[in-house]
Amino acid sequence: MMVVYKITYPNGKIYVGKDLTNNINYFGSASHSAIAEDFTGEQRKDFTIRRQILWESDDASEINTKEVEFIHSLRANDPAIGYNKWPKFRTMDGSGCED
């Protein structure tokens, strides 16, 4: 079973990704440094991360499209909302976002 999932961090920011094996221990490939910047040493000592399955299928043909659809619809690529770096976030006027 292949899945598209959403990770929610304690600060409310999200990451959307795909997992071709639905591995219960896989939490994506979000930028470690970007996440680390958002948490103090004290906050790192005890926290909870939530993983939600947004879409699942045995058919691999749609997984890439579905992942991008969820990234856009949830705005997971907007640095104020999420940690996805791709596809690049665009503002309403079509301009890019500074990293």
Report if residue 90 sits inside a domain.
Answer: no
What residue numbers bound the domain in which 62 lies? 2-74
Residue 21: which residues within 8 A CB-CB, separation 6 or more? 2
* DSSP assignment letter at 21: S
This model's pTM is above 0.95: no
The pLDDT value given to residue 98? 46
Report if residue 48 sits inside a domain.
Answer: yes
Burial class (CB in 10 A: 0-12, 13-18, 19+), 85: middle
Report if residue 53 sits inside a domain.
Answer: yes
Report if residue 88 sits inside a domain.
Answer: no
Report if residue 26 sits inside a domain.
Answer: yes
Number of domains in the chain: 1
In tens digits, what is the pLDDT along the chain, a chain of 99 residues?
A: 999 999 999 999 999 999 999 999 988 888 899 999 999 999 999 999 999 999 999 998 999 999 999 999 999 999 999 999 999 887 765 555 544
Identify the three-state secondary structure at position 5.
strand
